[in-house]
Homo-oligomer: A and B are copies of this chain.
Amino acid sequence: MRSDRVAYDVTVARWEPNARERLESAALDLFVENGYEETTVAQIADRAGMNRATFFRHFADKREVLFGGEDVLAGLFADAIKSAPLGATLTECLQAALAAAEAAMTPQQRAKAAQRVLLVAANSEVQERGLLKHARIARSISAALRERGQDELAARLGAELTMLAFRVAFERWMKATDDEPFSPFATAALSDLQARAAELVLPSRLSA
């Protein structure tokens, strides 16, 4: 039974090496060339040298092919929080999450991201899917923070702050020169936001 499964995996790998990545690249190219609306799943699969069935084995629909990276990010954030050192503060958990994003923020991803940003901005159906993905990432961060002993509100606040820091870092990273690593942008964005948060917190603390 076990050897059957291994044999099957090898077969799939032989026929569809990096299938997800190839489908994502093909989709992005076609969306840019012909427009998102005008591109069909069949065309994406064809460009990637596969068939429609293979596309749907990897993505639930046409929009989903634009957000594979979001699923990766959700995993990276949650794993980093769960494996942060014992006794890590809330801030340290968020720093660990943002530092872990580095693995997904490669120069190749950066090139694709620029195209994706334009596509998402131009199509509200795609934008909606992006927001659903972001809400799911936030939920996975807040679940990980609760596992680390944070209460419900601290976990949700921490998740929103991480997402906002990530978005700010991402925007700045996209404007920077090509080969800069993502981590310093993430660290700076979180710290800039914490400075703004101080204004929201300190007056009431001082008057308490």
Contacts and interface: CB of A to CB of B under 8 A. Distances in A.
Interface of A: 89-91, 94, 124, 127-129, 131-132, 134-135, 151, 153-154, 156-158, 160-161, 164, 168, 191-194, 196-205
Say whether chain A's binding surface is mostly helix, strand, loop, or mixed.
helix
B128 A197 contact: no
Contacts of A153: 168, 192-193, 196
A194 B204 contact: yes
**Chain multiplicity (copies):** 2
A153 B156 CA distance: 19
A133 to B, nearest CB: 10
B194 A201 contact: yes
A200 B204 contact: no
A94 B123 CA distance: 31
B197 A200 contact: yes
Given A131-B128, A132-B127, A203 B157 contact: no
Most chain B CB within a 10 A radius of its CB, from A127, A200, A204? A200
Contact of A191 (B194, B199, B204): B204
A158 to B, nearest CB: 7
A70 B78 CA distance: 31
A157 B204 contact: no
A156 B157 CA distance: 14
Contact of A199 (B90, B124, B129, B199): B90
Contact of A196 (B89, B154, B198, B202): B154
A202 to B, nearest CB: 8
Nearest to A124: B132
B156 A168 contact: yes
23 contacts: A89-B203, A91-B199, A91-B203, A91-B204, A94-B200, A124-B132, A127-B132, A128-B128, A128-B131, A153-B168, A154-B196, A156-B164, A157-B196, A157-B200, A160-B160, A160-B161, A191-B204, A194-B200, A194-B204, A197-B197, A198-B201, A198-B205, A201-B201
